[in-house]
């Protein structure tokens, strides 16, 4: 697996972030967030020279209780992804790939790894529906829902663009969102590695032991 290091300066001159319309296979450009995926080939890890701060984010988990991202992932290796449960392709595949790779880890390392899925479609992704969807992937995954503006601000602070869900002419609802998974180090609690939607089970399987230790993949 190839790892690419990118600097903040490189990100600043990148083109606009390509948002994925799950199920549509289309892309849309927005000038609000710098592109990160364009700095590497799909399926490779991007190691940032200047990591992202972990957002101050408090949302609702699948039990209906408040969940504080900073407090409840402090000192733990954490993978974070923004998506929605009605997505027919990218979101379930991403979470499935992580789930399969996680199961390949020794039990002790599995227990250390925190995987957080934040919905980009909070109106439809209630705590109950989000919980049921995630249990089919991995019961240990944490699902978060809440105010869309709060979710959008947290994603953008990590260089990930999302837009409010929109109803298409045929009645389907599409959520446009960046498809990156961001890894937070247990040593610094900073987001220091990004994965694109082309990342495979094998890629995650190779990298997770290092992510758990806070090392570069």
Residue 181 to residue 147: CA distance in whole angstroms: 21
Put the strands of the sheet holding 26-34 in their side by side order: 26-34, 16-21, 176-177
Q: What share of the chain is helix, strand, coil (3-state, %, to 5)?
A: 30, 30, 40
Tell me what pLDDT residue 89 has: 87
How big is the chain by its Cα radius of gyration, in Å? 16
How many angstroms separate the Cα of 108 from the Cα of each of 103, 104, 204, 216?
Answer: 11, 11, 17, 20
Backbone angles phi, psi at 184, to 5 degrees: -105, 135
Taking only the tens place, the pLDDT of each residue in 76-113 is 999 999 999 998 889 999 999 999 999 999 999 999 99
Question: What residue ranges of the chain have pLDDT lower than 50?
Answer: 1-17, 23-43
Entry pTM:
0.83
Strand partners, 48: 6
User: What is the chain's length?
Assistant: 217
Question: 3-state DSSP call for residue 130?
Answer: helix
Residue 208: partners with Cβ closer than 8 Å, 6 or more residues away: 101, 102, 105, 109, 113
Tokens of 138: 């991995």
Write the DSSP assignment of 128-140 as a string of letters: HHHHHHHHHH-TT
Res 212: pLDDT? 98
Number of neighbours of residue 112 by Cβ within 10 angstroms: 16
Q: Residue 211: its pLDDT value, please?
A: 97
Supply 43's token pair: 């399926």
Report yes or no: 84 and 124 within 8 Å, Cβ to Cβ.
Answer: yes
């Amino acid at each position: 697996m190839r790892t690419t290091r990118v600097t903040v300066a490189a990100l600043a001159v990148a083109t606009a972030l390509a948002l994925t319309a799950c199920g549509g296979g289309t892309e849309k450009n927005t000038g609000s967030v710098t592109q990160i995926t364009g700095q590497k080939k799909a399926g490779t890890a991007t190691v940032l020279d200047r990591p992202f701060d972990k957002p101050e984010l408090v949302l609702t988990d699948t039990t209906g209780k408040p969940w504080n991202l900073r407090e409840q992932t402090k000192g733990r290796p954490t993978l974070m992804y923004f998506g929605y449960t009605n997505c027919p392709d990218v979101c379930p595949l991403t979470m499935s790939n992580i789930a399969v790779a996680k199961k390949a880890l020794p039990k002790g390392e599995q227990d250390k790894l925190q995987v957080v899925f934040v919905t980009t479609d909070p109106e439809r992704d209630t705590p109950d529906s989000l919980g049921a969807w995630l249990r089919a992937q991995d019961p240990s995954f944490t699902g978060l829902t809440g105010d869309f503006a709060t979710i959008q601000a947290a994603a953008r602070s990590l260089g990930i663009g999302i837009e409010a869900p929109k109803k298409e002419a045929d009645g389907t609802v599409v959520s446009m969102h960046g498809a990156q998974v961001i890894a937070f180090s247990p040593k610094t609690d900073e987001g220091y590695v990004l994965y694109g939607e082309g990342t495979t089970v094998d890629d995650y399987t190779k990298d997770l032991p290092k992510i758990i230790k806070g090392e570069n993949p």
